A and B are shown apart, each in its own frame.
Chain A
Amino acid sequence: MTAHDAAVLARELARLEEIYADGIRAFLPENSLFERERIIAEVSNKREIAFVCGLLNEGENEAALILELIARARERDPAAPVEHMVEEMAYYLRTSIDPAWQLAARPPSATAAVAYLRAVLEARVSRLRGAPPSRVPAFVRDRRLLERIEECEAPASPAANAPNT
C-alpha cells in the first residue's frame, strides 16, 4: 500500500464516519426526548451502530473494521506491513456480496474497498430516507460495482504509463 493510498484511505474512512452518522440519523426516529443528535455525537463507534441498524451486513462491517485497523497501523508506522490485512478485508467484502466469490481476479485494494463501501452506504441511506418509518430497505450489493472500482484503482500497466508520443 502506497503512502498516497494510505492518505486516501484515511480521508475516505473519515467520510464513512459521516455516512454512518447520517444513516443512524435516518434510521432513528426524530424525537426531542430521544435526543438523537446527542446520541449520535456521543457514540464512539458509529460503524457498529450502523451495523446494528442494518446499514452494513456482517462481512461489510468486518471489512470496514479491518480498513480502520489498516489505517491505524499506517498512521502509527508508515512502513507497517498491512498486505495480510488487506487480503483478509477483501475476502470479507467479496463474500459479503456473494459467499461463493472466494477467489478474485485482481489483487485486493483497500482504496477500492472503501470506495465501494461509501457507494453502497450512500445508496442505502438515500433509500432509507425514502422508506416508510422503521423499514430498512433491502441491501444494495453489487459485485460489478466493486469490480469496476477495483479496475479503476488497480495500478496502471507500464504501457498505460508510457508518455504520449
Chain B
Amino acid sequence: MAGKIDVAPVAFFGHGSPMNTLDRNRYTEAWRAFAATLPRPRAIVVVSAHWYVPGVRVTASLQPRTIHDFNGGFDPALFAFRYPSPGSAFVADRIAELLAPERVERDATWGIDHGAYSVLAHLYPDADVPVVQLALDRTKSPEDHYRLARRLAPLRREGVLIAGSGNVVHNLELANRLRGAAPFSWAERHAERVRAHVAGHAHDRLVGYRDDGDDARLAVPTPDHYLPFLYVLAQRQSDETATIFADGIEGGAISMLSLSFGA
C-alpha cells in the first residue's frame, strides 16, 4: 500500500450479513486483500444501502457514532462493536458543493451504519481514515441517482475513495426463508447479467434494471441495496475495466459481488 494517487479507485462491496463485521470468511479476506492493493485515501465516502431516506444528506459529525442498525438476534459482540473513525466536515462540504444545486443536508445525527463498517472494519481496521456517508434519497429514480453520482467524479482526483455498499441481488424475504439454500436461478441469472453489462460497459442497462423482467424484480425487490452499485458505476472512466475481487450468492438470494474500477 503506497504511492501517489492520480485517480483514486472506486469500489462496490456486496456486504451481506452484519456479522461480516466480526467474521473472517472468504468475502472478508477478499476485501482485506483488495485493501492491501490500495493507495491510502485521504478520506472515504461511503454510500450505504442502510441510509435510505427522503432527501440528500451527508454526515457532518466530526466523530460519527457507530450505528447498530439491525434487529436483535445477533451476537452481543456485534452490538458492542465500534468503528471510531473520524468524520470530515471538509469532505461533507465538498460533496455538497459538487452536488449543487441539489440541496444537501448536513446531518449530525446519522453516523456509520453497518453497511459501511462491516466492510471498513476489514479495509481499514484501525479506523484511521476519515469517513463520510452520503445518504440515498429514496424519492429519486435510479436514473436520477446515477446522474447525481456522476457529479462526484472530481473526488477521485482529490484522493477520496468512493465506496458503495449494498448487494446487486438482495431479497432478504426469500433468503431468510431458505437460509443455506442453493442460489435461486433468478438470482444467478441477474448476477450474471450484471457482470455481463459491467464487462460490456452497458451502464444504461444497469441503471434501467427495472426493465429486465421478473429476474430483476425478484433480485432487486426494493432499490436500497442496488443503488450504491450505481454510485460506483457512475465514477467509472471509459477506459477502466472492472476488477471483481469477491463474488458468490449467500442464502440463495444475496449476491456478494464486489468489484472495483481503477484499482
Q: A residues near B, CB below 8 A?
A: 66, 69, 73, 81, 83-85, 87-88, 91-92, 95, 99-100, 102-103
Q: Cβ of B222 < 8 Å from any Cβ of A?
A: yes
B130-151: contact bitstring with A at CB < 8 Å (1 yes, 0 no)? 0000000011011000000000
Closest chain A residue to B221 by CB distance?
A: A91
- Asked if A84 contacts B223 (CB within 8 A), the reply is yes
* 9 interchain residue pairs of minimum CB distance: A84-B141, A99-B173, A91-B221, A88-B222, A69-B139, A81-B141, A95-B173, A73-B139, A69-B54
Set of chain A residues within 8 Å of B210, measured between Cβ atoms? 84, 87
Taking residues whose C-beta sits less than 8 angstroms from the other chain, chain B's interface range is 10 to 19
> What's the minimum C-beta distance from B179 to chain A, rounded to whole angstroms?
14
Set of chain A residues within 8 Å of B221, measured between Cβ atoms? 91, 95, 102
Given contacts A91-B222, A95-B173, A102-B217, 19 further A-B pairs with CB under 8 A are A66-B138, A69-B54, A69-B138, A69-B139, A81-B141, A83-B141, A84-B142, A84-B210, A85-B138, A85-B139, A87-B210, A91-B221, A99-B173, A100-B174, A102-B171, A102-B218, A102-B221, A103-B214, A103-B217
> What's the minimum C-beta distance from A101 to chain B, rounded to whole angstroms?
10
Set of chain A residues within 8 Å of B4, measured between Cβ atoms? none
CA distance A85 to B142 in the complex (A): 11
Set of chain A residues within 8 Å of B54, measured between Cβ atoms? 69
Most buried by B among A73, A81, A99, A102: A102
Interface of A is mostly: helix
CA distance A103 to B213 in the complex (A): 10
Q: B residues near A, CB below 8 A?
A: 54, 138-139, 141-142, 171, 173-174, 177, 210, 214, 217-218, 221-223
Set of chain B residues within 8 Å of A73, measured between Cβ atoms? 139
Of the candidates A69, A81, A102, the one whose C-beta lies within 8 Å of that of B173 is: A102
Closest chain A residue to B142 by CB distance?
A: A84
Most buried by B among A84, A99, A100: A84
- Asked if B223 contacts A88 (CB within 8 A), the reply is yes
CA distance A88 to B210 in the complex (A): 11
17 A–B contacts from the bound complex (CB under 8 Å): A66-B138, A81-B141, A83-B141, A84-B141, A84-B210, A85-B138, A88-B222, A88-B223, A92-B222, A95-B173, A95-B221, A99-B173, A99-B177, A100-B173, A100-B174, A102-B171, A102-B173
Set of chain A residues within 8 Å of B141, measured between Cβ atoms? 81, 83-84
